[in-house]
Structure 1
Amino acid sequence: MTEAVSSFSATYLIARKRFLAEARERGLPHEAFVHPIQDPLLPEAVVDVVRMGPRDARKVLFVTSGVHGTELTAGSGVQLQLIARFADTLPADCAMVLVHAVNAVGCARLSRTDENNVDPNRNILGSFEDLPDNAAYQALHADLCPAVWPENRDGLDGGISDYVAQYGEKALVQNVLKGQHSHPDGLFFGGTFESWTVRNLTAIVRAHSQGAAQLGIVDLHTGVGPYGFGEVMRMDQQPLAGAEWEKIGNLICDVLDRVDVGRPPVKVILEYGTYPFSRVLNSLRADNWLRHYGSVHTPQGRKIKKDLQDALFADDPVWLSEISRQGLECCQAALDEMIAFDMMADDFKNTLIGKTSSDAVYQCLEAVAQKKIGAKLFTVMDYVAGRNMGRRTYSSDPENYPVSGWISLSDNDWFDCVVRKRKTYVANDKQQIFRDFADAALITSLGCGAIVNLPLIHDGELVATVNLLNSEGYFTNQKLAVASQILLPLARIAYLASKELNQEPLPTE
């Protein structure tokens, strides 16, 4: 316990010095990215990157701290221990990239947000042209961010307490933490343009992903959940219904989606619980007031900063020991998962040796799907980007669903989900199937009341979908996770193998 506790620092400045000293002592390469905006009265705001493992590693795990500046000291302590654990013992063909103080200005200022009050963990958007709306936040903004902040405030007040009384604290967590783009002076502001923090992290990830075949990220946070418990939030999987984080999007871990290395990334947020949500939220509200109306150079301002730090970092040996243990275990588990899939991919490639037709290749893929997930009907459909056309190239039931020529696809909810957003489509009931599929009567006549469509991306384009159908309610969160983490990357291997065997030209204009 003593060794773990001693890894944590009181401030960003001390944490940075220790992080760099440990990297130098181990002879690890280091890069420094100085933020263009600096406060001469505060520590220099710098993003530091340390890499362990070879530059040509095929599996690269990023571990990030300080996405929220108020949470840097917890994440930094875990990163310090990761250097001690893995500097000389990383598995073969693996690298670990530690990004220290992702939101450098927030870390230097002890603020959740960046220089523009933008929450980096709500700022990863494909486009800022059509920003999402958060009506629940707008209704609460005036209460969340008042112009006057008393010296002492206990519990939630005004419209916030009324909201909790009507909908419950869980609804408040979901709808407030969801983020918003309408109030630049508010909490959880996602911004109206891409922040320097996100641009810089994107460049770091792209540089360290060169030559990789599999990426992963463990993003370290504090403030939500039971005291000392590290909730593993799999952002690469469908969230469990009712999870506090199911509505949150545009997260920093999604930066891995900006690099196409062939396999879906492993994306984990590790959220360490500290104190009751009301205390954490009030600390963030107070700091937001301080930013816009107060001064840190007053007794009240200094107290607000101290309360904020204490709400998000528990200076308790038991808490520190627990987050240390869980942080190391989580990173090890992410590496193990990446390695296990690498072995599975090699085994799958071996099963394709000697196959002489696309049909034979996809039969091997179907065998995996049946073993790992199960399907009454399994098909593969090629798609032509920009022409809204598809054709069924494989079917486990050629009598009812034969392979087909090219057909135009309807612009509906399915199209919006799979083609536009390139997300997995899930329909677990017949009502949704009848709403979205013209052949719903045939589908249900085969005993199928649930559908999963997995979008297959190659060279940045949607090229095919892998489709599983089974009885109503069949596709649980666990089965969906297997589909995303195992079946989809194997489908990419099968797709490329089938194209090598059958070089049919795609339709032209």
Structure 2
Amino acid sequence: MDVLQSMTESFAVDYADARRKFAAAVKAHGGRMRSYANPNRGPRGEELATDTAWFGAEDAPTVMVAISGTHGAEGFCGSGCQVDWLASGALASVPAGVAVLLVHAINPHGFAWIRRVTEEGCDLNRNYIDFTQPLPENPGYDELADAYIPADLSGPVFEAAEARVRAYRETHGVHAASVARSGGQYRHAGGLFYGGSGPTWSRRTIEAIAADEKLADRRLVAVVDYHTGLGPYGYGELICDHTVDSINVRRAKEWWGESVTEPQLGTSSSVAKHGLGEIGWERMLGDRVSFIALEYGTFTPESGRIALRDDHWLHNRGPFDWDAAETQRIKAALRRQFYPDTDEWREMVLWRSRMVMRQGIEALARS
């Protein structure tokens, strides 16, 4: 299937549709599936699960892993890319000795409810810390916690909160403001970029998947984690947050080239953060894994802040009507922020995804 056809057929309208498309594509191409049932339900009562598909020899020494839905609503993009990769015919050219593992909707609750966070209210990509150690501090977030998610979305309380957020950015600069808001925080449940108080269901599930597929026994593993929301519209940035100058990051640059960026060196659209997926994968596989986040740009950080603020405000109030106009307004804005759903954006996304998957597979074959 060519990109122009795929950009209209591979992407889904909601989580349930994405799951159906993924299962159908895997079946059509002879993959082995596993399902990890989530104990919750979607907004229409639909079943939630993380599904995986394995292609290649069971004992393959190297494995290419592609993950969608780490940040829930970003799963529209990642799921579409996974379905497209199968539809493109790329599977036929995967060399012997390389297996491919697709992990679909690792955060199915967030995907179904159009949230960035898990059912625990956690940002999964801040949840991979060692919870037996002292939790990271984020004094900037502590200062602004009640301003980031005010009690009201209009009126004096709201205006005062917005003024505090602007004042912090003007006083401390854009970079410090970004670290404070998005670097990860572990004190304010229900807040933005909350890393949690323990491993989430999604983190435990990715660890179970790695164990079930015996990834620790492989010689090399490459991981591509699909994300959206940072950087220029439609561009897929390859973000690597392994320890600076480690074999993990050096290998990532060898495999994917000079476009790989490092937040810890200030070369990325992202800032350095706590509890990222790289840390979890290093804990599981040590120096045998190289992990990148394929981050597609959408709209401005400010529009992202507003979309996340409103969604957290909605869920923090307690039970709400999914079909209410206010709910649907908030969900539509968050969906658009992380999935623009336009032909030009989807076409850009698929070209880059195919390139990155091909690079990773070819690198594993020669390593």
Match of 1:221 among 203, 222, 227: 227
Match of 2:187 among 182, 185, 197: 182
Match of 2:167 among 144, 151, 162: 162
Shift of 1:336: 2.8
Match of 2:335 among 309, 321, 336: 309
Letter in 2 for 1:231: E
Contact 1:217 1:253 in 2 (8 A): no
Shift of 1:150: 3.5
Aligned residue for 1:47, secondary structure, equals strand
Contact 2:43 2:112 in 1 (8 A): no
Q: Indicate how the Cα distance of structure 1 residues 257 and 237 shifts in structure 2: closer, same or farther if over 3 A, else same.
A: closer
Residue 324 (1) aligns with residue 350 (2): yes
In the alignment, which residue of structure 2 is the partner of 1:283?
A: 307
Residue 89 (1) aligns with residue 89 (2): no
Q: Indicate how the Cα distance of structure 1 residues 297 and 100 shifts in structure 2: closer, same or farther if over 3 A, else same.
A: same
In the alignment, which residue of structure 1 is the partner of 2:12?
A: 9
Superimposed CA distance per residue, residues 123-142 of structure 1 (whole angstroms, 9 cap, x where no aligned partner): 01223441111001111111
Shift of 1:148: 0.7
Aligned residue for 1:183, secondary structure, equals coil
Shift of 1:299: 1.1
Letter in 1 for 2:211: R
Q: Distance in 2 between matches of 1:189 and 1:129?
A: 17
Contact 1:122 1:179 in 2 (8 A): yes
Alignment map for 1:37-186 (pairs within 5 Å): 37-39=40-42, 41-84=44-87, 85-150=89-154, 157-186=162-191
Shift of 1:237: 5.2
Superimposed CA distance per residue, residues 1-49 of structure 1 (whole angstroms, 9 cap, x where no aligned partner): 4223121112111111011011111121111111123357332111000
Shift of 1:206: 2.1
Q: Indicate how the Cα distance of structure 1 residues 338 and 246 shifts in structure 2: closer, same or farther if over 3 A, else same.
A: farther
Q: Distance in 1 between matches of 2:172 and 2:143?
A: 14
Superimposed CA distance per residue, residues 388-417 of structure 1 (whole angstroms, 9 cap, x where no aligned partner): xxxxxxxxxxxxxxxxxxxxxxxxxxxxxx
Alignment map for 1:250-269 (pairs within 5 Å): 250-260=275-285, 263-269=287-293
Contact 1:110 1:305 in 2 (8 A): yes
In the alignment, which residue of structure 2 is the partner of 1:345?
A: none
Residue 249 (1) aligns with residue 274 (2): yes
Letter in 1 for 2:171: Q
Letter in 1 for 2:293: I
Q: Distance in 2 between matches of 1:293 and 1:29?
A: 42
Q: Indicate how the Cα distance of structure 1 residues 212 and 218 shifts in structure 2: closer, same or farther if over 3 A, else same.
A: same
Q: Distance in 2 between matches of 1:274 and 1:260?
A: 32
Q: Distance in 2 between matches of 1:244 and 1:230?
A: 11
Q: Distance in 2 between matches of 1:317 and 1:93?
A: 36
Superimposed CA distance per residue, residues 64-110 of structure 1 (whole angstroms, 9 cap, x where no aligned partner): 00011111111101001122333322122001111000011111211
Contact 1:198 1:252 in 2 (8 A): no
Contact 2:67 2:106 in 1 (8 A): yes
Aligned residue for 2:35, secondary structure, equals strand
Letter in 2 for 1:322: M
Q: Indicate how the Cα distance of structure 1 residues 107 and 132 shifts in structure 2: closer, same or farther if over 3 A, else same.
A: same
**TM-score, normalised to structure 1's length?**
0.63
In the alignment, which residue of structure 2 is the partner of 1:28?
A: 31
Q: Distance in 1 between matches of 2:172 and 2:358?
A: 39
Shift of 1:170: 3.3
Letter in 2 for 1:334: G
Q: Indicate how the Cα distance of structure 1 residues 158 and 40 shifts in structure 2: closer, same or farther if over 3 A, else same.
A: closer
Residue 299 (1) aligns with residue 325 (2): yes
Contact 2:150 2:313 in 1 (8 A): yes
Q: Indicate how the Cα distance of structure 1 residues 174 and 331 shifts in structure 2: closer, same or farther if over 3 A, else same.
A: farther
Aligned residue for 2:153, secondary structure, equals coil
Q: Distance in 2 between matches of 1:103 and 1:247?
A: 22
Shift of 1:244: 4.4
Q: How many residues align?
A: 338
Shift of 1:166: 2.2
**TM-score, normalised to structure 2's length?**
0.87
Shift of 1:327: 1.2
Q: Indicate how the Cα distance of structure 1 residues 40 and 186 shifts in structure 2: closer, same or farther if over 3 A, else same.
A: closer
Aligned residue for 1:187, secondary structure, equals coil
Letter in 2 for 1:268: I
Superimposed CA distance per residue, residues 455-496 of structure 1 (whole angstroms, 9 cap, x where no aligned partner): xxxxxxxxxxxxxxxxxxxxxxxxxxxxxxxxxxxxxxxxxx
Contact 1:220 1:270 in 2 (8 A): yes
Shift of 1:246: 4.2
Structure 2 gaps, min length 5: 245-261
Q: Percent identity?
A: 28
User: Which one scores higher on RCO, CA 8 angstroms, separation ≥ 6?
Assistant: 2
Is the helix fraction higher in 1 or 2?
2
Aligned residue for 2:47, secondary structure, equals coil
